[in-house]
Homo-oligomer: A and B are copies of this chain.
Amino acid sequence: MIFMSKFPFKTQKTAQKVSDNKSTSILLQAWYIRQVMAWVYTYTTIWLKVLDKIKNIVRDEMNNYWAFETLMPSLAPRELWEITNRWDNVDVLFHIPAANNKEYALNPTHEEVVTPLMWEFIKSYKDLPMCAYQIQSKFRNEKRAKSWLLRWREFIMKDAYSFHADNKEFENYYEWMKQVYSNVYNRLWLWNDTYIVKADWWTFTDKYSHEFQVKLDIWEDVIFYDKISKEAFNKEIAPCIIPTPNIKDNELKERQDIEAIWVIWVEALSKKLWVPAEKSTKTMMFDADWKFIVASVRWDYDINTLKLQKIIWCKNLKFASPEQVKEKTWSEIGYAWLYNLPENIELYIDDSIIWLTNFETWTNKTWYHSINVNFDRDVKEPAKYYDFKEAKLWDRNPETQEIYEVFKASEVGNIFPLETKFSSAFNLTFLDENNKSKTPLMWCYWIWVSRLMWVCAEYFLDENWIAWPEQIAPFTNYIVIIWEENIEKWIEISNSLWLDKNEIIIDDRQNVWFWQKMNDAELLWIPNIIIISPKTLEKGWYEMKKRWEKESNFINL
């Protein structure tokens, strides 16, 4: 029970514009949060109540499906992270220098802690499946803490780790976890706009690797959704084909090599050469694990390096240096294409170029373009076209030919496989039914708890308020006392309403206008506003206004 007369974190009369983001402005105005440094916040009492309610929903659902809550430490010795070879290879890992020349990791995730914890416990196939989780602050040494919900340095996460005897056993378990996620987002009233999105995690298998994304206009992930197949893909990995197929020209024109000094951008180029973007091409050179490769897409697309990397199946894919380009193509960087290219270089051509005729390309000669280039005649038609273009609006799903629905979304959770990466590193084994030693498979389940709070704030944003659903509203009942004399008596009456005392704000402030109290109740979005006044009390009533209803009710005491 909070008495407003004593409550320090009072609402402000005007919202602070800190971003284009209205929900944050309201959170600041209503004193839910205060920033300590970029994207690191103090939660005041009100925000903490929302956090606790969301945590309890997550906890409740996890517990229902045989996941067991634990609390692992934030500090871990450097040695644990060296066992998995991640001390130097996870760039967001904070390294903490400590007394006696020790170093600790400030864990951004807890595979290095949970896996050795299981040594004692996972001994037989009978001990599997098994899942431990925690809800806890995580830390990431982000180069640039990004706006909103991405790339925070400190945030609260639910991270769960499961262990399995084999894939089949896991598949059953996966269904449970998917149920947990759907239950959680359902209870938060987000489920109708939550998409299970295929995503790419590290370089592990992508089966059973999913993001849970809430459709929200202002957030940064872009989702490609196929209404027919109900499949959703993160832009980062969305397979795609161009909206309408390239049409072959009837006549193959004569190739021309044209000098175009300082004309680099496609708009200027197409103006000069009279070639539309759809008939131009774009080529990049890459260093793929020290192998030199060339990749081309239609000018109006970008190369998605993640998709390309998967095709080449290489560990490190980076742009070739100007020196490498010059060495291989004898031209400055930016003039490469398959035409005129030395024969020993591997070519990857995106299917956006399929059937293209009379097209434009750079020509491996500084300042020179070629137009009216054609396959077979000028360049050998490739044996295979690939899909490594970055998907765009109006692109289609290659499987169903359906045009994607494209929208922004915010990731609120994910599930991804760890395979045996960590169980192998820590020598975690169990005996199977035949008494043979095996390494358990691991899976990982994250729910971005603190991000969920911000997503809810934005998702439930009304014209003027954050219209929290009752199950996560900071408090359920706001009791307005409008006649201040004999305040003890009114408080006594409030107590007699038999409400959960953790769910009550009593606005007992003296010398504060009735409408100011009502405004605060509305700004904080407390679902039930109870008004105790001498007038109605005479009749033995109190007034109850539910935020979702227009009219008040008068209820017998």
Contacts and interface: CB of A to CB of B under 8 A. Distances in A.
Interface stretch (A37-45, A310-318, A336-344): A37-45
B154 A73 contact: yes
A68 B36 contact: no
Interface stretch (A4-12, A383-391, A423-431): A4-12
A127 interface: yes
A72 interface: yes
B74 A139 contact: yes
B43 A70 contact: yes
A130 B106 CA distance: 33
Nearest to A79: B37
Contact of A94 (B6, B98, B141, B143): B98
Interface string A73-94: 1111100100000000000001
A49 to B, nearest CB: 9
Contact of A10 (B7, B96, B121): B121
8 contacts: A10-B121, A41-B73, A42-B72, A42-B117, A44-B70, A48-B71, A74-B154, A94-B96
A137 B121 CA distance: 27
Contact of A121 (B9, B113, B130, B139): B9
Contact of A97 (B45, B95, B104, B137): B95
Interface residues of A, number: 57
A76 B40 CA distance: 8
Contact of A153 (B75, B121, B137): B75
Contacts of A48: 69-71
Contact of A74 (B47, B100, B121, B137): B137
Given A127-B8, A141-B98, A141-B99, A45 B73 contact: no
A45 B69 contact: yes
A548 B499 CA distance: 34
Contacts of A132: 8
Nearest to A116: B36
A9 B132 CA distance: 10
A514 interface: no
A34 B120 CA distance: 10
Given A8-B132, A9-B121, A100-B144, 18 more contacts: A2-B68, A6-B66, A7-B68, A9-B68, A34-B117, A36-B113, A37-B76, A42-B113, A43-B70, A43-B71, A44-B68, A44-B70, A48-B70, A74-B74, A74-B137, A75-B154, A99-B143, A106-B106
Contacts of A40: 73, 75-76
Interface string A26-37: 000000001011
Contacts of A75: 36-37, 40, 139, 153-154
A50 to B, nearest CB: 11
A454 to B, nearest CB: 15
Nearest to A121: B8
A220 interface: no
A553 B106 CA distance: 51
A142 interface: yes
Interface in A521-554: none
A465 B137 CA distance: 33
Contacts of A141: 98-99
